[in-house]
Amino acid sequence: MPDPGIRILIVDDFSTMRRIIKNILKQLGYENVEEAENGADAYEMLDVEKFDFVITDWNMPVMDGLGLLKKIRTDPDQKHLPVLMVTAEAEKDKVVTAIQAGVNNYIVKPFTAEVLKEKMDKIFGG
Amino acid sequence: MSDGMEEIIDDFITEAEESLEKIDPLFVELEEKGYDSELMNGIFRSVHTIKGAAGFLGFQDIVDVSHKTESLLKKLRDGDLGISSDLITLILKSVDMLKALLQIIKTKDARPADMDSLLGELDSTLAAVSETASGGSPAAEPTMQDEADLAVAETAQEWPEDDIRLSEDTHVPPVEEALEPMEPPVPAFEEEAPEVPEPPVAPPVEEAPKTEPMADESEPEPELEMDEDLEEASMAEAVSMAIDSVLSLSDEPLAEEALKATDVKAEADETAVAAPASDKPEEQKRSASPQQAQPAKSGMRTLRVDVDRIDKVMNLTGEIVLVRNRLLNIAGYLDQKYAGDDHVDGLQESVSFLDLITADLQLGVMKMRMQPIKKVFGKFPRLVRDISQNLGKDVHLSISGEDTEVDRTVIERIGDPLVHIIRNAIDHGIESIAERQRKGKSAKGLVEISAYQQGSQIVIEVSDDGRGINVPAIRAKALQNGLVSEDEGQRMTDKEAINLIFNAGFSTVEVVSELSGRGVGMDVVKTNISKLNGYVDILTTEDAGTTVRINIPLTLAIIQALMIRTGGVQYAIPLGVIEETIKVTQEDIDNVTGQPVLKIRDRVFTMAELTDVLNAPAPEHELADRYVLVIAVGDRHFCIAVDELLGQEEVVIKAIDGIDTDATGILGATITGEGKIVLILDPAGMSRVVSGLKGV
């Protein structure tokens, strides 16, 4: 069972997408979910609020998911934060780039609740 | 379907449409400027995002079109393809198809007939690129989840432990008590590796590698086929499951977001939306739309509000204005009757205060409905590109004042007339390249579109540097068509002659080809603008160009009006068009071929009795000793004689069903301070009727 206390930040520039992911998370039992619409806003939120998990899109204006990931990994306070990249852009070289930057896992749109659960279980050792 | 799902789909359509709207101007800019990675990324992102969300919602046609378009864009971005007009036309066609597919979600129509041919066109363009480009790298193809997992596993396998920065750091859970111990990701990925008997990929490169280096490492043909199979199977499955998962959710979190579900973004004006904005500042900050996101830190907040709600507030404000007018009237009466009474003084004071507040409220609501005209202008770069390409002309479009704000009704209704005017400007105004060179003009024609506010009016101008309108030809044609008599034709100024093109009789192709001028549908333009209580002017100089100027009142619902009475009936006339009011005697009135005219300071105006204009019972007065209103509609001036001037009042325009403003010269009705229902007259309509009157 998911820990209901887990606080998750969804980062995506498309609000419909954020809603869809939020709904899937809710289905999995995660209710404590916040949203940001690009990497820069997300990073700002991480600075003031505590999150346990980040689900981020790759392709966003202002700061993309990779930029956010790099910022998180180089921030002493945040570098352990698990990050899941959600994107329709799943080229091998992209995946490689993301892993190099320290992503915990990679998930391709559209995905089901089952796939997300599987990834999260892996990340959280469930 | 549950409400929740429908709401998400509605949101998706709105958001996807907004996203697509941004593409057209970007592309036109790209075509003009040449390759620009910033522009390219913007375009790519819009299509990409739509694909992602459409996949979840099960709109397979949208996924197909956006996927292929995205692949094409990727080739452009990666330099496998050069920018060409044909290619841009194809991509724009795909964008149009995506817009059409979004419409279909709403209308539930069948998929467009040309969908398959478009997909075929996209496929063959992509295939052609793969052949010509070095190797047609399969590594650039987007993969599905399994492939991503595979890539993850392979990468993890191939790398020496210390190359993976995560491996040391991530196993410490952020909140020790709250979380299960978190496994480092690498071992987790490795679990999957044995299931995957694939040859290892190239060793990782430090930066995101270009596609070519990876191409020779794998077999293009079989892998491509597998991709597609995988894609079909897993996507269909994913779609149905995603829908199920969305369906099974409660509506609770959705209700929270109901406010966002519309197409108007009301900017949080301190007065206008202060109350709801203070409810959940956090949420609003995050729901601000991407294009307005950059000032998010400086406190700019937006809130999506249902248009119906704003319209309701607008209507209620209108009612308050009417009540205020009535109260002002009664308070004034009481003040005269019971001067010095404390209660009456108190009433007067309160009513004055109400007057002030109402004015502020009105302004606030009006601003809530205002949107930048960019929403309309944004479509024009693409339009100008398409038209000029079709006609083989070279046209530069310059746009200014796109931040000018207008009422949303104007946004909705001004588009078509402007498209018409722009089309005319390019088709009939701008000469062919050869003709321009012969005239010593630059080969590239210029169309300028601008918008600005002038007092209580919004002015929109469309200018071209083309050949101008052939006025003598218009006169000749009008005569030939019987639109004017020979006598009238001679009396007419050039301006009046040009205005003839607004006559429905001029809307024939024959006229256009003969005149090489404008005319097609200009009557429609005029009608549409009149519906916005606006008017159109045309300024033209032979061989220098033409400017079409549109004036529209800032607000459509509440106007300042002059109350008058004639034939025993009270009417309201929009104050903005009244240049002056004068009292005249019989000596001032002349008669030219049966038409009364009035000479004021050496200018001669056509004059008409209001009752004649309205086809109402005539007053029992002579024309002498009358009040006359000098009315200006655009550049056209005329005089209207009335019995009495009653004063100025702010009126709320209420439309009357079944009344044809053009034919009757009646704009709508309002309720006066005395509680009487009064007709509001349409100056443009009156102007038309006056020019149709022959002698009174």
Task: List the domain range (segments joined by +) for residue A86.
Answer: 8-120
CA distances from A108 to A22, B146, B242 (A): 16, 9, 13
Class of domain B307-368: mainly alpha
Helix (H) or strand (E) holding B240: helix B220-247
Highest mean pLDDT among A25-29, B447-451, B622-626: B447-451
In a domain, A113, yes or no: yes
| Mean pLDDT of the B229-241 span | 43
Q: Report chain B's terminal Cα–Cα distance, integer Å.
A: 65
Does residue A19 carry a pLDDT above 60? yes
Point out the residue among A59, A90, A93 whose CB comes nearest to the CB of B144: A90
Residue A16 tokens, joined: 């419909």
CB-CB under 8 Å, B239 with A13: no
CA B507/CA B505 separation, integer angstroms: 5
- Judge contact between A4 and A29, C-beta under 8 A: yes
B84-139 pLDDT tens trace? 777 888 888 888 888 888 888 877 777 777 778 888 888 887 777 766 544 444 43
CA B153/CA B143 separation, integer angstroms: 14
Q: Does the beta carbon of A14 lie under 8 angstroms from any beta carbon of chain B?
A: yes
Q: Does the beta carbon of A109 lie under 8 angstroms from any beta carbon of chain B?
A: yes
CB atoms within 10 A of CB B404: 18
Q: Alpha-carbon dihedral of residues B198, B202, B208, B213, nearest 10 degrees?
A: -110
In angstroms, what separates the C-alpha of B277 from chain A's closest C-alpha? 18
Q: Where are the beta strands (DSSP E) in A8-126?
A: 8-11, 33-36, 53-57, 83-87, 105-108
Bridge partners, residue B560, by sequence: B650
CATH architecture assignment, domain B3-133: Up-down Bundle (1.20)
Does residue B235 carry a pLDDT above 50? no
Total domains present in chain A: 1
Q: List Cβ neighbours of B488 (8 Å cut-off, separation of 6 or more).
A: none
Reply yes or no on whether B48 is catalytic: yes
From-to residues of CATH 1.10.287 in chain B: 307-368
CA B350/CA A77 separation, integer angstroms: 60
Give the chain B residue nearest A42 (alpha carbons): B286
Phi-psi region of B358 (alpha: psi -120 to 50; beta: other; left: phi over 0): alpha
Between strands B603-609 and B636-642, the pairing is parallel
- Judge contact between B639 and B609, C-beta under 8 A: no
Residue of B292, B398, B400 lying closest to B18 (CA atoms)? B292
Reply yes or no on whether B481 is catalytic: no
Q: Does the beta carbon of A118 lie under 8 angstroms from any beta carbon of chain B?
A: no
Which positions in chain A touch B64 (Cβ < 8 Å)? none
Point out the residue among A20, A50, A111 whose CB comes nearest to the CB of B145: A111
| Mean pLDDT of the B276-284 span | 41
Provide the pLDDT for residue B615.
Answer: 80
Which positions in chain A touch B199 (Cβ < 8 Å)? none
Provide the pLDDT for residue B221.
Answer: 37
CA B403/CA B458 separation, integer angstroms: 12
Bridge partners, residue B561, by sequence: B574, B649
Most B CBs within 10 A among A19, A55, A117, A122, hence the mutation to make, goes to A19
In a domain, A126, yes or no: no
The CATH number linked to A25 is: 3.40.50.2300
In a domain, A20, yes or no: yes
Instruction: Report angle CA B37, B43, B48 to the nearest 5 degrees.
Output: 115
Catalytic residue, chosen from B48, B67, B420, B428, is B48
CA A59/CA B175 separation, integer angstroms: 29
Between strands B666-671 and B677-681, the pairing is antiparallel
Average pLDDT, chain A: 83
Residue B552 tokens, joined: 């529209």
Does residue B548 carry a pLDDT above 80? yes
In a domain, A3, yes or no: no
In a domain, A2, yes or no: no
Catalytic residue, chosen from B31, B141, B154, B424, is B424
Please give the single-letter amino acid code of residue B134: S
CB-CB under 8 Å, B169 with A36: no
- Judge contact between B151 and A95, C-beta under 8 A: yes
CA B334: distance to chain centroid? 48
CB-CB under 8 Å, A19 with B257: yes
Bridge partners, residue B669, by sequence: B654, B679
Q: Does the beta carbon of A56 lie under 8 angstroms from any beta carbon of chain B?
A: no
Which positions in chain A touch B238 (Cβ < 8 Å)? 110-112, 115
Q: Give the CATH fold of the B558-692 domain.
A: OB fold (Dihydrolipoamide Acetyltransferase, E2P) (2.40.50)
Give the chain B residue nearest A16 (alpha carbons): B12
From-to residues of CATH 2.40.50.180 in chain B: 558-692
More confident residue, B144 or A44: A44
Residue of B492, B692, B679, B526 lying closest to B608 (CA atoms)? B692
- Judge contact between B344 and B335, C-beta under 8 A: yes
Most A CBs within 10 A among B170, B235, B291, hence the mutation to make, goes to B170
Q: How confident is the model at residue B573 (pLDDT cuts 50, 70, 90)?
A: very high
Catalytic residue, chosen from B70, B154, B461, B650, is B70
CB-CB under 8 Å, A104 with B170: yes
- Phi, psi angles (nearest 5°) of residue B633: -115, 105
- Helix (H, G, I), strand (E, B), or coil: what is residue A86? strand
CB-CB under 8 Å, A59 with B57: no
- Helix (H, G, I), strand (E, B), or coil: what is residue B174? coil
Q: Give the CATH fold of the B372-553 domain.
A: Heat Shock Protein 90 (3.30.565)
CA B210/CA B226 separation, integer angstroms: 23
In a domain, A70, yes or no: yes
- Judge contact between B416 and B453, C-beta under 8 A: no
Instruction: Report angle CA B34, B38, B44 to the nearest 5 degrees.
Output: 95
Provide the pLDDT for residue B461.
Answer: 95
Provide the pLDDT for residue A89.
Answer: 62
How many beta-carbon pairs below 8 A join chains A and B? 222
- Phi, psi angles (nearest 5°) of residue B379: -85, -15
Give the chain B residue nearest A10 (alpha carbons): B286
Residue B507 tokens, joined: 């809307």
Bridge partners, residue A107, by sequence: A86
CA B214/CA B257 separation, integer angstroms: 45
Reply yes or no on whether B190 is catalytic: no
B361-394 pLDDT tens trace? 988 888 888 888 988 898 888 888 888 888 888 8
Which positions in chain A touch B182 (Cβ < 8 Å)? 82, 123-125
Which of B10-14, B273-277, B585-589, B688-692 has the lowest average pLDDT?
Answer: B273-277
Under DSSP, the state recorded for B466 is S
Point out the residue among B8, B152, B288 whose CB comes nearest to the CB of A16: B8
Which of A96-105, B347-356, B438-447 has the lowest average pLDDT?
Answer: A96-105
ipTM over 0.90: no
CB-CB under 8 Å, A62 with B293: yes
Please give the single-letter amino acid code of residue B18: E
Residue of A60, A75, A71, A76 lying closest to A10 (CA atoms)? A60
